[in-house]
Structure 1
Amino acid sequence: MEKVLNQEEIDAMVRAARGGGGGAHDQAHEAVVVPWDVRSAGQIGREQVQAISTLHESFARNLTYSVGAYLRVAFTAALVSAEHLTYGEFLQRVPEVTYLATCKLAPVGTAALLQLELGAAFPLIDVLLGGKGAGAPPERQVTGIEEQILESVMRIICRELQNTWTLLSLEFDFEQRRQPGEARHLMSPEEKTLSLSFELTVAENRGTLNLVFPAVVSNALLRKMSAEWAHAKRRALPDSSQRLRVPLLECPFRVELGIKIGRVSASDLMGLSPGGLLALQQPVEQPATLRVGDCEMFTGMVARRGTSRAAQVLERCSIAPERKPSP
């Protein structure tokens, strides 16, 4: 009598034929789905962040010298962080009362944002007006006259940025101070930016300087830096070392084979004449020393090769420790 299969048994046979198995086996091979944050696309890697940090640590040192010489007061700038943020994320960190300005990037046709905390802005203004930059800064916005005074320092910052970003041949031109409403529309909130944060110290006061660059220029900088690394690696390839080694092998060196002679009495020296012998009080089997320049390199014996004298190299001389000069 033939067995009639029900639908569940038929489905199980089909799954088995397809290698799907059933039950727990299906669950074990089920695809794992994880959420993906679209904002994580295009994030710069750790090595790129390190390269950008190294570049702008140099910018901070140059800015320290330039602004310090201009103000003639104690001034320091130090890189605090280099981050890849959306423009909206950066704006969330900006305090309500602060100094904002833009720097035009030519010939790209875009702009970078400069944000300076009042803790550094007002001491800078005070020094530029002849003060010492001491005391607590006021809790208010910068006035129109004060922003014109502060503009000279902003132009120095733009100049040092241009000197730092020489790989891109960009021109950094200070534009003007921006109100918070204008700054919000400078870029799209979703646009990726390179955010650099510096701590400025003016006399006894400290404040933060933030620089925000759009992705179009920060990515171009990373590409240029990667190209420079590749070029540097090509210059360090073994074939270049070999080309340098070949001409060096033709350099001449003074070489001599000799023995060290101990003290000889004056009477023996006075008795020397052509054809005479001078006893050196050294065993015949004691090797001579092969000197290259002023260095004892090998021990050796006098030999002959055809009609020419030669030196038979025996072993390398041990390197004696350097003697320190007596006081």
Structure 2
Amino acid sequence: MDEVLSQNEIDALLSAISSGEMDADELKKEEEEKKIRVYDFKRALRFSKDQIRSISRIHENYARMLTTFFATQLRSYVNISVTSVDQVPYEEFIRSIPKKTILNLYGMEPLDGNLIMEINPNIAYALLDRLLGGKGSTITKDGNLTEIEKTLFMQMFEKAEDALRDAWSSVVEIEPVLEEFEENPQFMQKIAPNETVVVVSLTTVIGETTGMINICIPHVILEPIIPKLSVHYWMQSNSNKDEQAYGKMQQNLKKTEVELKAILGATTISIHDFLNFQQGDIISLDQPIDAPLLLSIYDQPKFFAQPGKFKNKMSVQILEEIKGVNEDDE
């Protein structure tokens, strides 16, 4: 990041140039010279900011789905949101998580590699306590999980595979499968220590307990879909979805039935005449015989039409559309 000068430093610099203590041409020459920046190859950045934003969008959707899933399963208040998305060496990720934690290893067919989900002990034990009928409080466990507890965790996160599949479906169709369950991060030697991984951190609240769920995505998983993580792809994808939705809506509208009325004419009579109607009486309408009829849709005049007969049924033939008529004019 470029150094920002304070106002005093700017004033001192201008004073030095004005007094001749500093040559402006020399400053310009220094700026034109090639500057060297230190680059750490152990922390090589392999994803652009644009791609990181796309990964963040995927997991914001995943966080919402996971919130709904956990709230349904636990019958408790749950809130999960994306806190940060960073790219770091795998070794740094492993060092940053507790020595005793919950690790789920997901296969991501047809993509290569495995996705690692780390559930902080605070959240993991609160989730376990709630599953076993408790209030969802954090408990302290010195030993390893029992076989029953492991089975409960695995069943819960196997059911959560659908949320992961749906969240990633905007980019690629995957079939996540929970392959391994581990408590010690040191046994997770699936990725080279210096391999770049994307770590998505989710702040998780279960009841009154707060903790983190970290999702570690190796470069090998993301490599085949990197072109789909661009803004251009997302815009094009959304555009295609809009066109599909528009086409579907158009087809549904074409099947919608509407009520048409052809107004043959109208008149006004007295109650006395109405009460004395007899068979054979003629009622004179205000519609001239050579004038077109009004064709209305839900009582809104839309077309001029002329009466006739088609296939032995009374019919009307549309002559022209009535323009400039809307509900506000009625």
TM-score (norm 2): 0.61
Task: Note the C-alpha offset of 1:243.
Answer: 12
Alignment of 1:101-250 (within 5 A): 101-105=103-107, 107=109, 110-128=113-131, 131-134=134-137, 137-138=139-140, 141=142, 143-146=143-146, 149-161=149-161, 163-165=163-165, 167-183=172-188, 185-220=189-224, 230=236, 233-234=239-240, 236-237=242-243, 241=247, 248=254
CA distance in 1, matches of 2:158, 2:218: 16
Q: Deviations over 1:7-36 (max 9, x none)?
A: xxxxxxxxxxxxxxxx67984993665737
> Contact 1:297–1:317 at 8 Å: present in 2 too?
yes
Letter in 2 for 1:196: V
From 266, 271, 279, the counterpart of 2:272:
266
**Structure 2 residues without counterparts, runs of 5 or longer:** 1-24, 309-315
Letter in 2 for 1:191: E
What is residue 317 of structure 1 aligned with on the other side? 325
CA distance in 2, matches of 1:79, 1:153: 21
CA distance in 1, matches of 2:122, 2:328: 62
Q: Structure 1 103/124 Cα, relative in aligned 2: closer, same or farther at 3 Å?
A: same
Task: Note the C-alpha offset of 1:210.
Answer: 1.5
Q: Structure 1 60/82 Cα, relative in aligned 2: closer, same or farther at 3 Å?
A: farther
CA distance in 2, matches of 1:299, 1:145: 77
Q: Deviations over 1:115-135 (max 9, x none)?
A: 22222233334445554443x
- 3-state SS in 2 of match to 1:144: coil
Q: Structure 1 289/58 Cα, relative in aligned 2: closer, same or farther at 3 Å?
A: farther
What is residue 8 of structure 1 aligned with on the other side? none
From 301, 309, 312, the counterpart of 1:297:
301
Letter in 2 for 1:153: F
Letter in 2 for 1:213: I
> Contact 1:103–1:112 at 8 Å: present in 2 too?
yes
Task: Note the C-alpha offset of 1:78.
Answer: 0.9
Task: Note the C-alpha offset of 1:56.
Answer: 0.8
Letter in 2 for 1:56: Y
CA RMSD of aligned residues (A): 4.9
Task: Note the C-alpha offset of 1:258.
Answer: 4.4
TM-score (norm 1): 0.62
What is residue 40 of structure 1 aligned with on the other side? 45
**Structure 1 residues without counterparts, runs of 5 or longer:** 1-22, 323-327
CA distance in 1, matches of 2:126, 2:239: 46
From 228, 249, 262, the counterpart of 1:256:
262
CA distance in 2, matches of 1:269, 1:288: 31
> Contact 1:76–1:201 at 8 Å: present in 2 too?
yes
- 3-state SS in 1 of match to 2:160: helix
Percent identity of paired positions between Structure 1 and Structure 2: 12
Q: Structure 1 98/191 Cα, relative in aligned 2: closer, same or farther at 3 Å?
A: same
CA distance in 2, matches of 1:51, 1:24: 48
- 3-state SS in 2 of match to 1:137: coil
Q: Structure 1 80/47 Cα, relative in aligned 2: closer, same or farther at 3 Å?
A: closer
Q: Structure 1 90/233 Cα, relative in aligned 2: closer, same or farther at 3 Å?
A: same
- 3-state SS in 2 of match to 1:41: coil
